[in-house]
Amino acid sequence: MNIGNRIKRKRLENNLTLEELGKKADVSRATMQRYESGKITNIPSDRIERISEALGVSPAFIMGWEDENNEPILENIPGIITPIKMKRIPILGTISCGKPIFADQNYDGYFMIDTNLPEADFVLKAKGDSMIEANIFEGDFVFFRKQRDVDNGTIAAVLIDEEATLKRVNKSNDVLILQPCNKNYEPLIYSKDDDKNIVILGQMVGVYSNRCK
C-alpha cells in the first residue's frame, strides 16, 4: 500500500471529503486528489505532518514506516537493513563421495542458513572425490530434504546397511545403480537379491563450499 492509498483509506475512515482534508492540510482539493491517486508522490514533510494530524495517525504511518499499532515496518524505512531470518539445520556427520563409510547419526552441530534457501532437513559433510563432476568436493556441506524415494538422476544420500554414500540414483528392473560423478569411479550396483539393507535418506537440495568464499 503506497502513501496515496493510506491517505485515502484513513480519509474515508474519518468520513472526510477531499475538500475537507485539503483544507485541514492547507492544499486544494485537486492537489489532495493527486496525492491519493499517486500522481504526486514527493509530498513535502510539512504537508505529511498536517495530513497525518488531520487523520489521527502518525507521519510514519502515512509514509509506510509504521503499522496502525505504531510498530515499525523496518523493511520500508530507508537506510534500514533488516536482519536475515535464519534457520538451523542439524549436521549429522560425514558422507562418502567414494566408497560408503559409516554415517554417524549423532549431531555434529548445526548449520545456519537463510529461510529463503531451499528447504533442507539435515546436512552431511562430503568426503572423497567421486562427485567432483557435480561440483561437490571434499569438505563441502551437502544439504538434504528427507525423503525415502527420488526420481532417476537425482543426487541423494543413500544408507547401505550402516554406511552412507552420496551418489546419483538410477533404478531400473529391480536394480539400483548408484552412479558417481567422476569418470574414475565405477557405479555401485545392487539388485533386490543382494543381502543389503538399502535406504534412501534424502534428496540433495544444495551445497555449501568454503571454496566459494
Q: pTM for this structure?
A: 0.55
Q: Provide the pLDDT confidence category of residue 21 given band limits of 50, 70 and 90.
A: very high
**130 in catalytic set:** yes
- Amino acid 150: pLDDT: 93
Q: Which fold has domain 3-75?
A: 434 Repressor (Amino-terminal Domain) (1.10.260)
Please identify which of the residues 10, 167, 196, 209 carries the catalytic annotation: 167
d(CA 127, CA 16): 70
Query: In this model, does residue 151 exceed pLDDT 90?
Result: yes
Residues of the chain with CATH 2.10.109.10: 88-212
- Amino acid 125: pLDDT: 86
Please identify which of the residues 28, 125, 130, 146 carries the catalytic annotation: 130
User: Does the domain made of 88-212 have the CATH classification 3.40.605.10?
Assistant: no
- Amino acid 17: pLDDT: 93
d(CA 199, CA 190): 12
Contacts of 208 (CB under 8 A, 6+ apart): 111, 113, 140, 141, 143
Encode burial over 167-183: b for 16+ CB neighbours within 10 A, e otherwise: bbbbeeeeebebbbbbe
**167 in catalytic set:** yes
d(CA 86, CA 188): 37
